[in-house]
Structures are given as structure tokens and as C-alpha cells.
Structure 1
């Protein structure tokens, strides 16, 4: 494959990875790697970059095949492959490089948002965890999160359960954010709409306008009398990244999502 026009490379990388025979993809990758040194040594810049693109596309094809094996009923869907991998790795921190490979698509961040907002899967990012660590950097608080090593570019499926109510909540979150309220007021409004529901850190971060101060604002609301529970507040019965507000003060958190 010769790339005479480098402008086509972006389109090639953005295209959906093919789902084929993993063994065939593996053999093709070995062949490409064996021929790559010669191309890098004597080829034009375009040929050198083109060779790397071929390797990258083959790797994505191989990764998509792995993802498809986890979602045999819907292996052609990048969204299904992404979800299947996250469910297979539930509770484990997953790097974006893993998701890019197994999803076989370039727009996997948008697919993750879809899994949260349109399907109710409790997926949090390292950005939300970073904010929680910064708000209470004590060793005990960080240990309680069980996410001390999570980097901003990583993701975590908190539980292998889909929360049907989360679809409604994300719609409400968008409406509240559209009003342009102060972050603290927006958080109070959002929590008040969903008493005794398991709300993720990602929802609260979004409602607060993605301001890194959102954990401190939640703590302020709690100090002012709102009954809010989370691991950050010492309630170790809740998974990390989950918050529960109780209007009655019981904050049982028993309204668990569905499988």
C-alpha cells in the first residue's frame, strides 16, 4: 500500500476496524512488521508513515476481533465491543489505549458518554477521581476510594449493573446545566431530584460544569445539612464514586441498579 497523499491517513485511522479472523490478522501483522525496517530505512517520508499506518490498522483489526469475541451477538458494533470489555474488566481501572484497541473505533470517548447517558452504565473517568483525591488528599480518604492509582485518561466501570434511572438523571442534569446556576446550587438541585438513588461522581462533575471544585461543594452541602453519603465521607458500604442523597435522612442507598 503506497500513501502518495498523506491527507488520507486521518480518514484511514478514523474508519471502523474490520472484524475478521484474529489469526489472519496476527499473521498479517507479523508480515508487516518484518517488512517495516526496510521501509523505514529507505522509503520516503510518506512511505514510512504509510507503513506505520498499516501496522496500526492491523493492530486495531486484531483488537476489534478480541472485542468481538466478548460480544459474539453484536461483534460488529464498536459500542458493544467497548461495553463487553468494560464489563469483563468491571472494577478494574482501564486505560484509554485498551479501549481504543478493543473498540476498534476512533470515537470511543463519545461511545463511553453514550453508555453513561443513554444506557445507564456507571462509568467514571480518572478526571472525576482526580477531583475527589484533590478535595481530600489524606491517605485514609484516598485509600477509601480504592482508586489511588487512577490517572485522568483512565476509566472504570464501577458495577456490572445498568441503572435505568440514570437515563432520566442525565436528562435532568443537562436541563439544570442549561439554566446556568452556580455550581453549588446546581448540585443541590440535582441531588434533590433523585433522593435515595445511587448517583455517580461523573454526574455530579457534569452538573457542576466540570469544575474541579465539585467534591468540595458536595461536602459543603453535606455540612449544611444535606444527608449525602459516599466512601469519601466514610460510608465504606458504597462503591467508590457513588453518592446517595436522602431527603428523609436515612440515605439507605438500597435502590440498586439492575443487571
Structure 2
């Protein structure tokens, strides 16, 4: 294992000493054996690394320094080269991954932004609105801490993340398994990307779970304002009937807006969310049942909470005539 960086108290003096060493190297005769010249560069390299790690005094590990650097610059694009400098370690990239995946810090890379741009632009726009700039120009080794708060359940997720990543399940099935094991809990895009084995289509598979498979996978923009930006949550471990999966996003949004984002029967909305209340999400109900020829139009759909929706289908609740 290589020499660990050591923090120094006087960065200026350290920089001057390194500069003197570099000047001595420049004065070496070109005929000096290459091994001698290489050996003379080693203490200079160590000195520069010590200076870099000393920019964040009081943090005794590369991972802690990387996190501290991000927290000083939330919502800003950070280059990998900067992280290499302040971390003072060779394996800074592995420590960064630990922060993103194991510790749950929402640090998104240029690669992840590219995946979202290709497969889930709605989520991308929400993140860009949060951080205040477009991410189009970000390179693979540029990173952004999109929100200065970690996933409190990250440690619990980690064992499952590792087992799913190494499984033979499809990308979509791995993602669904993770979400179903964490119903009601936010999962970051970076965690989903990790489970997918870094496959670029992970964002498309998440979207398909909601729009084609009927799983209530929601984001901050889709009525879950309390979850971190860039995260996804499975609101309920319940797949909607096949005919409900064909409702387009535009129709769904129009119905929710018309009904004020609340249940037309009991008035429940996401603002009333309570752990002890079985009402967890809003669903769209066909006034004229699909089996009777009802279609997926704004005029034939009404917003109900999940409890009232189940009661209607169990025929223990009748809706007023004339709706919607």
C-alpha cells in the first residue's frame, strides 16, 4: 500500500518546500540515471498530496474530505481532479462510490445525468431546476451533490443493493425488487443505477414500471414533494389493473389537476399523509367501468384515494351519480 497523505499545518511552507524540491529536480543533469530521477520525484509527489489533503484540515480520511468538499459546494459541478487533490488518496473514485451508493448521498455523475436525459427527461428537469443549471455539458468525471442530505436508510439498503446487482434478474426486475423491498422509502437514481449494473437504460426501466407495468413509482414532481429530488418511491406494493396502465401521463395530470390533487370522495391529499393512515396515494377510477366500455379519458376518470378506490371495486362504496 502506498504512503498515506499527511495533513500539514502550514500549507504555504509546504508548498514552498515542494517548489524547492521541484527546482532541484529541474537542475539534475540529464545524464543522471532515470531511476535516480524518478526516485527524486517521489517526495515531491507526496508533498503535493499532503498539501491537497491539508486544504480540509480536521478530516482524517479521504472519504470524509470528499464529502466535506461536496458539502461546501452543494449544487455545483465538481471535477474528479479536484476530488483527487482534496482526497489525498489514489482510490478516491471508490470512496466517492461508497458515499453515493453505500451512504446514500445524492451525488450524481455526468454519466447518470446522461442516462436521465435519454430515458427520463422529467426527472432530469426536476433535478436541473433544483441545482439551477443545465447538465448537458457535464463530463463523465464531473459530479453534483444535488441535495445536502443523505438517505437515512442507505445502510439497510446496501446489502440488498449488492445482492441484486450480482443477480441474474433482468435490469427491470432488479429495480422492481429493490423498490418492493422498500415500499414508501425514497431510492436515489444512483442506487438504482448501481443495482442495474450501471446499464444506461435503468431510467427507462423505472419509467416503464410506472407507465407500462402499472406500479405506483412516483417522484417529487409526481406528487411526492417530501422525497429528495432525483429519487423514486414505490408508494404501494400494488400493481394496477392492466386497463389502468394505458392512461397517458397527459390525461392523468389533467384529471389530478381538475380534482385539485385530492380524493373526490373523502378529500384526502398527500398533505394529509400519516403513517397510521391506510390512505397512501391517489388513483384514477373509471366512472364507467372499463369492462363496460369505459375509456381512458378525462371525462370518464375521477381521482380517489387508494382506500376509497378499493372500496368502490369491493362494492362497499357507491359514488354519486353525475361524476366527474
TM-score bucket (shorter structure): 0.7 to 0.9
If the length of structure 1 is used for normalisation, what is the TM-score?
A: 0.76
SS in 1 for 2:47: helix
In the alignment, is the contact (CA less than 8 A) between 2:183 and 2:234 conserved in 1? yes
Larger deviation, residues 175-184 vs 200-209: 175-184
Asked if 1:15 is matched to 2:9, the reply is: no
Residue 32 (structure 1) aligned with residue 21 (structure 2):
yes
> How far did residue 82 of structure 1 move?
1.9
Partner of 2:147, secondary structure, is coil
Q: For the residues of structure 2 that align with 1:143 and 1:226, how far apart are their CA atoms?
A: 22
CA 1:213–1:39: 2 relative to 1, 3 Å: farther
Paired with 1:32 and 1:143, the residues of 2 have a C-alpha distance of 49
Contact 1:63 1:103 (8 Å CA) reproduced? yes
Shift of 1:182: 0.9
Are 1:217 and 2:208 matched, yes or no?
no
In the alignment, which of 217, 232, 244 is matched to residue 243 of structure 1?
Answer: 232
Q: How many residues align?
A: 235
State the SS of the aligned residue for 1:244: strand
Which has a greater percent of helix? 1
Matches for 1:14-163 after TM superposition, within 5 Å = 14-21=2-9, 22-39=11-28, 41=30, 43-68=32-57, 72=58, 75-135=59-119, 144-146=126-128, 147-163=135-151
SS at match of 1:184: helix
The answer to whether the 8 Å contact 1:131/1:215 transfers is yes
Q: Residues 154 and 186 (structure 1 numbering): CA distance in 2 closer, same or farther, change over 3 Å?
A: same
- Aligned CA-pair RMSD: 3.3
How far the C-alpha of 1:181 sits from its partner, in A, is 0.8
Structure 2 unpaired stretches of 5+: 129-134, 239-260, 262-268, 275-324
